Amino acid sequence: MKKEYSYIDSVHRDGRIWNIGMMIALLMFPVSVALIFGASPDWKALALGLVATAPMYWAVGAIETITFTPMLGAGGSYLSFVTGNISNLKLPCAINALEQNAVSVNTEEGEIISTIAIATSSIVTTVIVILGVIAIVPLTPVLESPMLAPAFEQMLPALFGGLGVAFVSKNWKIAVAPVILMLIGFIFVPALNAGTVGIMVPVSVVFTIAVARILYKKGAL
């Protein structure tokens, strides 16, 4: 008798298959290069490098999985962790799609909408990257123009500013806490910079949840 799978069961089944497949495909590239060119890495240096850096990435990976999965849903999480750029692109796209359709990611409808939004984002990103690669040579003089440099520096702040206003306006009492935390952190802690965003996002999420719970207990929400 053929086993019947629910939608969420099929998501986990296919997600595991494709994620493991992508992991193997990504690891096969350096292996293929080593075999084709008869070159191998300095295994001692590689081991020392992994010991110094891998634990940080394992910790960030574990934190991001716990933090992002409840917001992205199962299908969205499998897809996002393969395509990457979650906090900057996939998460805002998923949350906006859920908000526009007034559904929760914990429902089957929310799962589907989140997955479609992230898949669309991934396709659009891939197409833009392809077009960028094709057009980079003729457009390089224009893009490197001193006149346009200030505009390019403000692209990300403008994007996240627009998203931030939309979310802050919905519940400013909760939004104040993470904003103050990030301002204090990035202003007074020199070690924090653009490279630490992957760590600070989960920290901000945990901090916001804790503050929201305190406010709720005190009847402020």
Q: How far apart are CA 205 and CA 209, in angstroms?
A: 6
Q: What is the dihedral of CA 125, 126, 131, 135, to 10 degrees?
A: 80
Burial class for 60, CB neighbours closer than 10 Å (0-12, 13-18, 19+): middle
Confidence label for 11 from pLDDT (cuts 50, 70 and 90): confident
Q: What is the mean pLDDT of residues 152-158?
A: 76
User: pLDDT tens digits for 82-132?
Assistant: 888 887 788 888 888 888 888 888 888 888 899 999 999 999 988 988 998
For residue range 121-133, list pLDDT tens digits in order: 999 988 988 998 8
Mean pLDDT of 200-217: 83
* Mean pLDDT over the full length of the chain: 82
Reported as a pLDDT band with limits 50, 70 and 90, residue 71 is confident
Higher pLDDT among residues 116 and 60, named by residue: 116
Is pTM beyond 0.75? Reply is: no
Q: Answer for the pair 191, 185: CB distance below 8 angstroms, yes or no.
A: no
Query: So what's the pLDDT on residue 3?
Result: 57
The domain ranges of the chain are 7-170
Q: What is the dihedral of CA 67, 71, 73, 78, to 10 degrees?
A: -50
Q: Are 86 and 201 in contact (CB under 8 A)?
A: no
Region 175-195 average pLDDT: 80
